[in-house]
Each structure stands twice: as structure tokens, then as C-alpha cells.
Structure 1
Amino acid sequence: MAKLNPQSNKPVLVVGLGRFGIALSNQLVSQNKEVLAVERDRSLVQKYADMLTHVVEADATDIEALRQVGAQEFDSAVVGVGTSIESSVLIAANLVDLGVSQVWAKAINPTHGKILTRIGCHHVIYPEHDAGVRAAHLVSGQMLDFIKFDDDFAIVKMRPPRELHGKTIDQCQPRRRHKVNVVGVKSPGKDFVYAQPDTLVSAGDTIIVSGDVSQLEYFADHA
């Protein structure tokens, strides 16, 4: 196995250096995480060797190859392979069999995701679907960012609706009137603050709001 820093905060194993895998790996490195990337395409290994912590050329569909690079020593692993469902499933199954406690895998469709779940994959990611849903919310109204949870609960970053302009949270009563919570407010040139009843909201502010997706959509577009 490539030698990792024992002081590192939970190194991550990433299998596959396509667009998803390299974006994920670069973000982890920017967060000061050590990454061991496994890729069977030699040209990609050479391309990213100097950009990531460790890059190893290996075929992760072979459990012995994964064992040789020390996959069993990782707590978290991400399968970024998406072009071949068979390869993705084999790699995820290998990581589960090696005892990796948190296996994340990219799925290209619901059937692929169902198979990954049934073989024991702990987290299934649908990047294209999730990006499409997020973009639909962002292009249709005041929302600047959107994170949805499984139970139709979401947290959004947005411009404040007109009825909040120049008023405090207590005056507007968003929880009572719209069933959403204003969590925080960021004014231009000032630090983010958690919203209190007396927090004043201005037209140029950015607010963080949580609640049911349908209530958030109405609040963003009609309040």
C-alpha cells in the first residue's frame, strides 16, 4: 500500500478517475484529506500522479489487487466508476467484502443503484439526477443553492422574499405564515449570523432557510 500519513484525518480511497472521481478527489485534497486513488487506465494514473496524494494503477475488480493496495485498511471508499455497471458492482462488492465500513458508489440509474444497495453498499450517489433536480430549483426562482434530504426536507440559500425586506424575523413570522425557518442571515461585508427574532433582513442579504420543499418553493416565489 502507498504509505499514508498516520496523523491524517481518515484518508479516503477513491476508485476511478473519471470526471466524478477526479472532482471528488481534488475536493478532498483541498480539504486536507489524504486520498489514495486507484485507476486502471495508465494514462490517467500518469496525468493525476502529481495532483493527488497517491495514485495507484490497479484493476479494482480484482479483490486481490485491492488487498495489495491496502483497501481493507480504509474506513471510507468511493466507487466513481460509472461507464460499466458490471465493474462498478464488482468493485463495490470487493470493498464491502474487504470490510470497508463506509462504501459510497456512483450509480447511473435506479436499477444500478438497487444492485449496489443489495450487495451492501452503504451510500448510493446519483450525480446526474441530483444535479438536475438542484438546477431546476435554482433556475426557477430566488434560490441560490439547494440541498434536499430524503424526507422532502431541504435547506436552501436564497435572496430574501420582498415581504422580509427591512423587517425582523419576528415581524415576518415565516414559521407561522409559511412553515419555514430562517436559520441565518448573511449581509454584504458582514459575518454570517444565526437568525434571532430581532434579526433584521435587508433586500441585499442572503438568507438560509429550512423546511418542506414545497413550502420553500412557495416562500421563495410568492412571499
Structure 2
Amino acid sequence: MILKCVAIDDEPLALELLSKFISQTAFLKLEGRFSNAIEALSFLNQNEVQLIFMDIQMPDLSGMELARILDGKKNNDKTRIIFCTAYNQFAIEGYKVEALDYLLKPYSYEDFLAAATKAYQYFDRIHNTPVAKSAEPTATQEFIFLKVEYQLVKVMLKDITHVEAYKDYVKVHLKSKANPLLSLTSMKNMEELLPSEKFMRVHRSFIVALDHIDSVAKNVIQIGDHQIAVGENYKEQFLEFLSKWMS
């Protein structure tokens, strides 16, 4: 699945960087770049895109005003917005117009990729959700994209056994590989990427795949040959999960 995108920013350098990040992301396609929201609105009225990356403070028509206009249109779930701004005071307003994410300038490609991946997973869920089977569980995501060295790697969720913090990186341990994948991202980003019904953070340095837990003894989780301690701040949530597991 390729997501059609537009980039909107009145600052030339910011627009250039945003366009570059979109172009180097395998599952995004840049359909247009605009230095003001009025030109962008004219384009969006005639063309369908899935994702809009845009600044908020722009002359004539602000990004927030454009978001409200788009929010009033029918089928607005087909187009989602990721704000890219230097001002964090707009975060609450961003959530009111159901912005998918909020990138605070200056942001890195890692930050951009995390937001773009969230968008990919959103549209993947929309695409795979059955329309007339309300009595059945809806489809969930099956994979994520991780930045490994200079490429994006598709990782199946069922293959992940656990995630481990490692300096400025994370180690993603896989059932199918002897060595973990090393990705330049944070545990917080991984926690947001991974579906909470399948993964749980049990320590400041560990996220575990619930389906891959072999045993638990004295607050120590066994996954294959790995023993993972449950941190004090995570015990209550994990014990709640265990109580359902044992019922």
C-alpha cells in the first residue's frame, strides 16, 4: 500500500526537508508541495490524498483553519493530517481536528518515520476492516516498518518476541533470526508502534510479546532463553494481565 501525500509549509527549507523525508520513505508518494494553504486547498478539492503533512502558522490561511475546512467535508476519514510546527501550544487544537500526529520542529527522520508509520498502520486497519461483519473481531495490523541502518525493514508482528533498549537504539528480537535487529528509535516510539493487545512494556528497558511468554516465576518472564525482570512501575499492569491469563 502506497499513501499519497502532500507537503505544506511556507518556509522553503522546512518544505524542502519535509518533501525529502516523504520521498525517501518507501510507502509514501509525494503528490504535491505547497508554500501556502490556499493553493493546497485548491489541489485537495480536485485530488484525493491520504496524508497531509503541514505547518500550522502560515499566512492567509493557517494549517489549523485548513484542517477545520477539511474536517467538515464528507469522508474526511480518507484524509488524515500530521502537523509539523515549531509551536507546541497548538497540540490540543490539533487533537480537536483529529490530527493523526504532531511533529515538533526541528524533527529528525526518526520522528518523521514514526509518525508516517502510524499513518500507514491507520490506513492499513481501515483498508482491512470488514464492513458488514460487526459481530466478528476486526482485522489488526500484521507488521511494522523499522529503520535498520539505511533502509526500512518490514517486520511481522508475530515474529517479534521482545524489544530491548540499547543505548540510543532498540534491539528487536525475532523468533526467525538468531541476532536481533538494531533500530535507531526509542522505547517510547516502539511502545506506540506495537499494538497494546499483543505487546506490553514490563520494564523501562523491555517490551514483551504476550503470545511468546513461556513462563513467569517471581516477577521474571521467560521467553525462550531470555529472562526478563518485571520492573516495579510495571508490576500492577502485568499482574492484571496474569490474572486474566490464569483465569
| TM-score tier (shorter) | 0.3 to 0.5
- TM-score, normalised to structure 1's length? 0.43
Q: Which has the larger radius of gyration?
A: 1
Between the two structures, name the one with larger relative contact order (CA 8 Å, sep ≥ 6): 1
